[in-house]
Amino acid sequence: MLQNIYRNIITDPDLFQNITPEIFIPLTRFITKNIDEKTCIPDVEQIVIIPSKNAVSRCHWLPGLNGCNGRYYVIEMSIDHPDAHTRTLQWIQVFAHEYMHHAIDRKEKNSDPHPLVWFDETLCNISSVCVANDLFYDLFFSKTSELHWMRDNKNSLARITQFPSQIARDSPVANLVAKSLQCGRGIREFLPFPEEGLNLALCSFAIASCAQNLFLKNPNLWKIVPHVNEIPIDADIHSLFHHLKETADPSYKDSLEELINLLLPY
């Protein structure tokens, strides 16, 4: 049966065969609250979490589900690892990624890819890293009693925080992109990035591995999210950065400058 598990988050826990509500509900609450607070996204819409039927996790919206006004976001979760503890980590990594997609979703988007899909994917990959990092510190200082069962395993969260760097090491395509960023050449020579497919995923992990420290160092940088949301669907990287600079507040202006210099150095 559908139930509200946190604010605007709805799910039917019985639909998930291989992860129990005692595990995924408190994690979902932690992640939602964490991302909402960091991004300051203005409006809250209904979000329904369901298991994925085709082993692909994704976030999309449905207009007026059940005849209601407004839009429902649907987050389809693929949680399929054979090891139970890894499935817990998978929930954290996947939900933090997909929930960030909902936060940066451009309103007029249809299902087609758009020129900045690599930027969205990069932010969503960094979102998983930052959530895992914040959860580690939360468990370390024992603030969230609801997640006490994870305390003994908190070191395994490093598997999430180190994931983008691991991809950047192991995949030749990702390695090329990461090297270019590390040498101060940015991503210019790789543009336009593929709009979908394996290379898009690898490139966005490579960029995430180089940009994640800026978000870890200054979580206020997440305040770019509502402004990413404001640009037209077909905008390019230059108009995105121009808009982000124009709307930046002093709490993250310098970090944004560092991010832009990393990606598109002069």
**What part of residues 104-123 is at the interface with Zn ion (CB under 5 A)?**
121
Q: What is the nearest approach in angstroms of Zn ion to the Cβ of residue 97?
A: 6
Cβ–Cβ under 8 Å, residues 23 and 91:
yes
C-alpha triplet 34, 263, 56: angle, nearest 5°: 50
CB 174, CB 207: distance < 8 Å: no
Q: Which residues within the stretch 14-73 sit at the binding site for Zn ion (CB under 5 A)?
A: none
Query: Which is it for strands 9-11 and 58-63: parallel, antiparallel or unpaired?
Result: unpaired
Candidate residues 124, 147, 228, 240; the one interacting with Zn ion per rule CB under 5 A: 124
Question: To the nearest whole angstrom, how small is the minimum distance from the Cβ of residue 185 to Zn ion?
Answer: 25
Nearer to Zn ion by Cβ, of 124 and 256: the residue is 124
DSSP run (H or E) holding 176? helix 172-182
Cβ distance to Zn ion smaller for residue 124 or 228: 124
Is residue 180 within 8 Å of 190, Cβ to Cβ?
yes
| Minimum CB–partner distance for residue 121 and Zn ion (Å) | 5
Q: Pick the closer one to Zn ion by CB: 125 or 220.
A: 125
In whole angstroms, how close is the CB of 58 to Zn ion at the nearest point?
Answer: 7
Q: How far is the CB of 80 from Zn ion (least distance, A)?
A: 17
State in angstroms the smallest separation of the CB of 59 from Zn ion: 8
Nearer to Zn ion, 128 or 220 (CB): 128
Q: Which is nearer to Zn ion, 24 or 95 (CB)?
A: 95
- Residue sitting closest to Zn ion (CB): 124
Q: What residues form DSSP beta bridges with 46?
A: 72
Residue 243 tokens read as: 């808009």
Residue 249, both tokens = 């507040």
Number of amino acids touching Zn ion (CB under 5 A) = 2
Angle at 219 between CA 233 and CA 73, to 5 degrees: 40
200 with 171: CB under 8 angstroms? no
Q: Which is nearer to Zn ion, 76 or 121 (CB)?
A: 121
Q: In this structure, are residues 211 and 227 in contact, taking their beta carbons and an 8 Å threshold?
A: no
Residues binding Zn ion (CB under 5 A) = 121, 124
